[in-house]
Structure 1
């Protein structure tokens, strides 16, 4: 079997996917092309001609990418070659349904909500596939012990919502303020997705049209993303502010500006850490690893949670339906539904180290058994008809 692995986004998962495809005894050619993501992902005749030639130069059983690339889908359909795309973003960054309905497509989302969303729009080329973790790789990372009480690895997010709201009517501004305030307090329901409709987007565009200086015409999808990043930003600031008042709290992020440091005076700021070494070292050195989930990801288990568990460490996540489905609460992972509850759970598990470490071991065993790359790749190849059952 021959697989063409086309890596175009620099995904954290690309190296693991390649290693495990080869480990299964499958021939894998990898092509890296990070330039294609900077151009039009739907219409690029030069890319299509070049990619056709690549497919003609060898006999490939399928093409594999992380995240769906419409240009590749078009060429694979033309050449009648199965195309597997495994998304690690939720929601997926796709502008339209164009090229998604080809019968050669096998598109996998790690969030069940994304699958349901696209199937409700008539697509039968999408399936659910949770992400994976290579526990053996993380086992090789050694640290002295757990000398950090609480840590968060990740962005604080910035949002365009305040700018967008500045051009809205007073009524529209109040609508978004009420909505984001409510979503900030609610973890088990995506209020933003329910109430930010196409009608709301059209209303806002009409308001913008009356303003000669306002050239933006935001779509529902853009408004939803902007509101979600805004709530995620407030979410993380609140979480860190509350926890750092009592606990030794560390942030590893690109967001180290003075403004953030003044808002979070008790947080110990560090720069970003590398995925392959620095991140697992932080996870393994931390007693409690925070995983506040991006608010537009409605149901899927983020890679960060799997990596924390794969490092044999304790994860404290905001509520997530699929974490609740795949992990035993209080045995393999712990979730919170408010900053106050997060505070209570951090306080409890810092005092009860044996119980905390038992949960960390349980999470490790869960991901080792049920979230392996070999399993995921085998299931996707089987679904695509490339690997026989």
Structure 2
């Protein structure tokens, strides 16, 4: 479908500037509606402004990063496609009844979630890996003289100051707490497979959601089992990141870039927030080892952080994700750890083998630049409309 006029809705997602730049290279008219969404389903002011812009600009398509039911309603009203590119998980708005509309086209980076949504009867659900702008980030790296050198870096939340469901466990019995903790501890040692799916009874699911005060939106067909699993997956991520950062700091030291997330232990060099557009590339390019710890709620997909690290020419040491092996070979274009002990061993090895580390980073950069560009992603999405 040939599109000449498009509205890009912007609500603050980190990739929106990169996406806008590449849209402008292929679409004659790109109009931007930048307004915070006050309610995913019921933001009347946003809907009014969007419908007005569609009319005045004669827009032929709406595009957003992540899924907004209110945008889907507007597209359905006027009969134009609404394209949503999902870049994170979980994304509960996908279970809105609006996602069944013929005008809605959803492109999700996680193949497992694509299958789940497709099995639920949604027609226009496609698997689309994420993208990174290697060319742009190369310019950022070359133009800056700032010093971001580090042996081991992690950019992301350590969850050091963030509450999770354990704060609300007072209503659980000792048996319930023990059962959930046993599952959590087992999952910490397993990557690529969820141990929560199928191991929670309906009573346990309802109990967990009750004590955590989590409620499914009334009109959504969101499985309660998925919500409960996400609660436990969040706990795994919290424990995993805290233990990993602590142990790396004790052995090698670690540079942490995070927003309002200080980690006050010896060996952690906390440097605050790194801007996606202007600083992130410098972090990745000037760190000998860049860690990626994928949130456990992302089941199969390649997270944006991993692609950005390689797209900036950085060496990536990451946990296993099933979709990684469709494009990358461990030890050739990235490195994968199987446990925290394995991560520490690989950090020690690659800190001592500069040439091998740099060769792997260079190969990862080549693959990402070739296979994960915005041009290719947009071309595929538009071809499916």
TM-score of the pair, normalised by structure 2: 0.90
**Counterparts in 2 of 1:30 and 1:293: CA distance versus 1, 3 Å:** same
Q: Is the 8 A contact 2:105 2:125 kept in 1?
A: yes
Query: How many residue pairs align between the two structures?
Result: 371
- Structure-to-structure mapping, 1:110-129, within 5 angstroms: 110-129=109-128
**Alignment partner, residue 60 of structure 1:** 59
Shift of 1:66: 0.7
- Structure 2 vs 1, CA of residues 7 and 60 (structure 1 numbering), >3 Å: closer, same or farther? closer
Moved more, 189-198 or 95-104: 189-198
Aligned to 2:91: 92
State the 1:46 CA deviation.
4.5
Cα distance in 1 for partners of 2:202, 2:53 equals: 41
Structure 1 stretch 14-23 or stretch 215-224: which is displaced more? Answer: 215-224
Partner Cα separation in structure 2 for residue 12 and residue 383 of structure 1:
25
User: Does 2:102 correspond to 1:106?
Assistant: no
Matched with 1:24 is: 26
SS in 2 for 1:228: helix
SS of equivalent to 1:114? helix
C-alpha distance in 1, partners of 2:255/2:213?
Answer: 41
Cα RMSD (Å) of the superposition? 2.1
In 2 relative to 1, CA 197–314 (structure 1 residues): closer, same or farther, beyond 3 Å? farther
Partner of 2:149: 147
Aligned position for 1:33: 35
Q: CA deviation at 1:95?
A: 6.9
Do 1:85 and 1:107's aligned partners in 2 also have CA atoms closer than 8 Å? yes
For residues 209-267 of structure 1, give each alpha carbon's deviation from its aligned partner in whole angstroms, at most 9, with x where no partner exists.
xxxxx97668544433332222111111111122222213111112444xx31xx3222
Verify: 1:9 aligned to 2:14, yes or no.
Answer: no
The answer to which of 335-344 and 153-162 deviates more is: 153-162
Aligned to 1:246: 251
Q: Which residue is 2:219 aligned to?
A: none
Cα distance in 2 between the residues matched to 1:146 and 1:125: 43
- What does residue 130 of structure 1 align with? 129
Is 1:234 matched up with 2:239? Answer: yes
The residue number in structure 2 matching 1:371 is: 372
Name the CA distance, whole Å, in 2 between partners of 1:31 and 1:272.
26
Matches of residues 68-79 of structure 1 in structure 2 within 5 Å?
68-79=67-78
TM-score, normalisation: structure 1: 0.89
Aligned to 1:272: 273
Map of 1:307 onto structure 2: 308
Shift of 1:42: 1.5
Q: 1:322 matched to which residue of 2?
A: 323
Cα 1:280–1:180 shift into 2, 3 Å: same
Selected match of 2:196 from 184, 192, 196: 192
Tell me how far apart the structure 1 counterparts of residues 259 and 92 of structure 2 sit (CA, whole Å).
Answer: 22
Matched-pair contact (CA < 8 Å) for 2:69–2:96: no
Secondary structure of residue in 1 paired with 2:95 = coil
Does the residue aligned with 1:57 lie in a helix, a strand or coil?
helix
Q: 1:250 to 1:200 in 2, by over 3 A?
A: same
Deviations 1:33-90 (A, max 9, x none): 11x2x32x11344443432222122322211111111111112112110111101112
Aligned in 2, Cα 1:226/1:255: closer, same or farther, shift over 3 Å? Answer: farther
Residues 311, 369 of structure 2: 8 Å contact kept? yes
Shift of 1:196: 4.0
Question: Is there any run of 5+ residues in structure 2 with no aligned partner, and where?
Answer: 217-223
1:110-168 Cα offsets, whole Å, 9 max, x none, are 11011011112121221100010111111112367883110000101234211232211
In structure 1, the residue matched to 2:42 is 43
- Describe how 1:284-299 pairs up with structure 2 within 5 A: 284-299=285-300
